Amino acid sequence: MVTLSERHKRFQELHKTGCFVIPNPWDQGTARMMAALGAKALATTSAGFAFTLGRPDMGGVSRDEALVHAEAIVSATQLPVSGDFENGFGDDPDEVAETVRLAREVGLSGCSIEDTQMLKGNPFYDFDLAVDRIRASVDAARSLSEPFVLCARADGVMNGTYDTAEAIRRIQAFEQAGADLLYVPSLPGVSALERIVASVTKPVNALAIGALSQISVDQFSSIGVRRISVGSAIARLTHGLIWNSVRAMLDDGEFKTLKNAANSKEIDQLLIKGEG
């Protein structure tokens, strides 16, 4: 049995050298499958979890619900887990700091905090407030007895509310505030990713979607990326299969898409192996 303390230390070590993939499960079953397939660590996905509750992403889940969900993912395997906690479930820096402390209580080895308000249109926080929120998160993380990887996200490029230059200004400030990992999701291409990595000295997380889904782990590594996540992409891929197969059944009266289903016995074996 791997202790939580060992998981926290291992998670910190993963961010010091090399480049690793951190897949995003949305329930205990997907967590165990990913662990069995060789994942070194896991991260929750706010969108993937919200979909399981029949709710939209971006504010569709409460802090209490996200914490209970994260605790379930932690208990599913022996791997370290990071929490996708959107804006930290509060606007005020003290509220975000409390989220970080609660994240540790449920066994998480890290979490990400976004600079986006959970309101229609996804407005970003004022620059100074965004930095204060990360600084408070870092202070909370440093008050913990074991390592906690605090990931600071600049989400304006993804949300279409500011450009790459503003994202760089923000992650540089987040780095100065003490964040362990910097993250600008949904970049338009490799050149933008190279700019992001070159702009900071702390490790960078890259999201492998869009144009960046076309490059390999080795290419991410050569750019200098330390961690690669996929966000809700695997969950959305699963939902795409549901969409297409059910439409084929109900609209066309065909069941051909079901031939691509995984073997139930193989899934059983993965679930047992992934539990550790």
Tokens of 53: 């509750």
Q: Which whole number is the average pLDDT over 105-130?
A: 96
- The predicted structure's pLDDT at residue 52: 95
Q: Which whole number is the average pLDDT over 104-120?
A: 97
What's the rounded Cα separation, in Å, for the pair 191 and 200?
15
Q: Which whole number is the average pLDDT over 145-159?
A: 97
Provide the mean pLDDT of the chain: 97
The pTM assigned to this predicted structure is: 0.96
DSSP percent split of the chain into helix, strand, coil, nearest 5 = 55, 10, 35
Name every residue whose Cβ is closer than 8 Å to that of residue 270 and which is 6 or more positions away in sequence.
32, 33, 36, 37
What's the rounded Cα separation, in Å, for the pair 14 and 98?
25
- In the structure, what pLDDT confidence band is assigned to residue 91 with cuts at 50, 70 and 90? very high
Which amino acid does the sequence have at 208? A
- The predicted structure's pLDDT at residue 237: 95
Element housing 20 (H / E):
strand 20-22
Look up the domain containing 226 and give its range: 4-274
Model confidence pLDDT, tens digit, residues 205-256: 999 999 999 999 999 999 999 999 999 999 999 999 999 999 999 999 999 9
| Residue 53 three-state SS | coil
Tokens of 6: 């060992």
What's the rounded Cα separation, in Å, for the pair 87 and 125?
10
Work out how many domains the chain is built from and give that number: 1
Q: What's the CATH number where 21 sits?
A: 3.20.20.60
- The predicted structure's pLDDT at residue 170: 98
Beta strands in 162-255 (DSSP E): 181-183, 204-207, 227-229
- The predicted structure's pLDDT at residue 276: 85
Instruction: Indicate if the pLDDT at residue 150 is higher than 90.
Output: yes
Which amino acid does the sequence have at 96? V
Q: Locate tokens 């993380």: which residue?
A: 141
Model confidence pLDDT, tens digit, residues 28-75: 999 999 999 999 999 999 999 999 999 998 888 999 999 999 999 999
